[in-house]
Amino acid sequence: MAQTSTVHAPQLQGLIDAVGAQNVVTNPATIDNYRWDRANDPSAGTPVAVVRATSSEDVQATIRFAAAHGMPVVTRGAGSGLSGGSSAVDGGIVVSMENMRDISIDPQTRTAVVQSGAFNAEVKAAAAEHGLWYPPDPSSFEFCSIGGNVATNAGGLCCVKYGVTADYVLGMKVVLADGREVNLGGSRLKDVAGLNLTQLFVGSEGTLGVITEVTLRLVPAQRPPTTLVATFATLDDSTKAVLAIASSMRPSMLEFMDNATINAVEDATGMELDRDAAAMLIIQSDEPAEYAAREIEMMEASCHQHGATDVFHASDVEEAEAIIVARRMAIPAVEQKGTILLEDVGVPLPRLGDLVRGVQQISQDRDVTIAVIAHAGDGNTHPLLVFDPMDDEQKQRAHLAYGDVMELAVRLGGTITGEHGVGRLKRPWLVDSIGEDALELNNRIKSALDPHNILNPGAVYDPAGLTADE
């Protein structure tokens, strides 16, 4: 087990010697900026140092130092995580990847080799210079790192057709708990030599190693999508339309906003959304022109068939973009109403209606405002639980509702997290989501790869479930 560190400031000299004083932050005011990610985990600790790594060697030296002193190491990309996967730990070291952002594109193999601190948007831009596309598009793509995307197996809006981050990771360099760096996979499209360790590290949330570089698969540029917006008078109508469309067509986007979200976005933008609608769907097709027109026509018919009150086509690229921006700003818009607890539960698509209805019931039962946005096409919803941070009683009700929503998703055959990760916030619910036997397999692999539990201790795994090696 990781122990609370007994390293005092003077002993950090070994670390400073190894990675250079300019890369080690010990100033408490600056360190404070590295304690939380966007989950604002109330239990985040205070690290003794932040290493702003500039190379794999810096990361290796840091891990070796930490291993020698039994110190926890938390890896941090851009700090945009939503489950507390990069909350700092008392007495530990935060390894920040913010200064490792090289990107190189190979158009012949259609791959990108990217240091993990590079932003998702930077990878997209570099690929676009070669007429290529890196599809994964978390809503935070402009300010989240590729390393964080890989560590959480981030999703986004285009997943419904183009899959998640994992589908684009061909290889990586990862620094292990003993400081060795290992190369996994590479720019080969097919490779079955040994276990698929690359995919094991995708989504491992910094608990098995520190990913320093990834090799990503790129695809030809997306065709300009056609955009459709439909509003519905009832939640049921909207989720039925989602199921009908997603199970018979191939939308490149199929997003959902409920009434509370529509109103929050309208408050923030004044773009004349229908404040009375129970739900709104944003649908895109990116098939070749003539085919897309036919597909959009079928999608429109499906919306009407399921009782849409209004259906309209974006008249041009600008209008379409404005609608997508509205969707992407749903979280900040709802945040203006209070402090939020952000959920990330998913269910098999036919249970989407049950999930949305159940969340509404929880909202009533707990007397907590819950706004729901969803990557509806793949059954992944983000209920946003809003509370007044000054009202302790309300805050407590919101936290109870947070658990209720996860338990509901599990009852419906779903997951407690579709794309944000377990981190520290959702750890108590992991066993219900995957079951005791699968959790025990997780623990065995964690213990095999990080026997002293120095990598992101407290995230994903309950230390009590791990086999100590010391």
3 state SS of 373: strand
3-state SS assignment for residue 447: helix
Residue 110 in the binding site for a second copy (CB under 8 A): yes
Of 2, 13, 162, 130, nearest in space to 70 by CA: 2
Q: Please work out the total of residues on this chain that contact a second copy, with binding judged by CB under 8 A.
A: 83
| Residues 77, 86 contacting (CB under 8 angstroms) | yes
Binding segment for a second copy (CB under 8 A), chosen from 58-66, 229-237, 243-251, 360-368, is 243-251
Residues 6 or more apart whose Cβ sits within 8 Å of residue 150? 116, 165, 169, 172, 201, 202, 203, 211, 214
Chain residues 1-40 in contact with a second copy, contact rule CB under 8 A? none
Asked if 344 contacts 417 with a C-beta cutoff of 8 angstroms, the reply is: yes
Give the residue, chosen from 26, 309, 339, 447, that forms a contact with a second copy under the rule CB under 8 A. Answer: 447
Q: Pick the closer one to a second copy by CB: 1 or 31.
A: 1
Q: Which of residues 250-279 bind a second copy (CB under 8 A)?
A: 250
Nearer to a second copy, 188 or 304 (CB): 188
- In the chain, what is the straight-line distance between the N-terminal and C-terminal CA atoms, in Å? 8
Specify which residues 342 forms β-bridges with: 384
For a second copy, the binding residue among 69, 327, 375, 382 (CB under 8 A) is 375
Cβ proximity of 417 and 83 under 8 Å: yes
Q: How far is the CB of 139 from a second copy (least distance, A)?
A: 14
- Beta strands 93-96 and 49-52, pairing class: parallel
* C-alpha torsion angle, residues 162, 167, 173, 178 (rounded to 10): 130
Other beta carbons less than 10 A from residue 68's beta carbon: 12
User: Does residue 428 touch a second copy according to CB under 8 A?
Assistant: no
Our finding on whether 464 is near a second copy (CB under 8 A) is no
Cβ neighbourhood burial of 163 (10 Å; 0-12, 13-18, 19+)? middle
Say whether residue 193 binds a second copy (CB under 8 A).
yes
By CB under 8 A, residue 324 contacts a second copy: no
Candidate list 8, 9, 29, 194; residue touching a second copy; CB under 8 A = 194
Structure tokens at 374: 């969803």
Q: Which is nearer to a second copy, 34 or 461 (CB)?
A: 461
Calculate the CA dihedral of residues 290, 292, 298, 302 and round it to 10 degrees: -160
56 binds a second copy (CB under 8 A): no
**HEC letters along 22-76:** HHEECCHHHHHHHCCCCCCCCCCCCCCEEEECCCHHHHHHHHHHHHHHCCCEEEE
Sorted by sequence, the CB contacts under 8 Å of residue 201 that are 6+ apart come out as 150, 172, 174, 184, 208, 209, 211
Contact flag: residue 63 with a second copy (CB under 8 A): no
Widest distance between CA atoms in the chain: 71
173 binds a second copy (CB under 8 A): no
Instruction: Decide whether 341 or 376 has the Cβ nearer to a second copy.
Output: 376
Measured from the CB of residue 379, what is the shortest distance to a second copy in angstroms? Answer: 6
Contacts of 174 by beta carbon, 8 Å cutoff, 6+ apart: 181, 182, 184, 201, 208, 209, 210, 211, 212
* Smallest separation (angstroms) from a second copy to the CB of 257: 18
Site for a second copy contains 417 (CB under 8 A): yes
Q: Which of residues 213-242 bind a second copy (CB under 8 A)?
A: 219-220
Q: Which range in 151-159, 258-266, 272-280, 307-315 contacts a second copy by CB under 8 A?
A: 151-159
346 binds a second copy (CB under 8 A): yes
- Region of 40-48, 139-147, 286-294, 393-401 interacting with a second copy (CB under 8 A): 286-294
| Binder of a second copy out of 251, 383, 418, 457 (CB under 8 A) | 418
Of residues 18, 113, 118, 7, the one with CA closest to residue 58:
18
Interface pick for a second copy out of 25, 48, 235, 347 (rule CB under 8 A)? 347
Specify the residue, 271 or 438, whose C-beta has the smaller distance to a second copy: 438
Contact between 462 and a second copy by CB under 8 A: the answer reads: no
Which of 9, 192 has the CB closer to a second copy?
A: 192
Q: Give the DSSP H/E element, type plus range, for residue 290.
A: helix 289-305
Which of the stretches 117-125, 261-269, 323-331, 439-447 binds a second copy when contact is defined by CB under 8 A? 439-447
Min CB(196)–a second copy separation in Å = 5
Q: Which of 438, 462, 468, 469 binds a second copy (CB under 8 A)?
A: 438
128 touches a second copy (CB under 8 A): no
Among 275, 304, 313, 444, binds a second copy (CB under 8 A): 444
> Which listed residue (107, 224, 332, 463) binds a second copy by CB under 8 A?
107
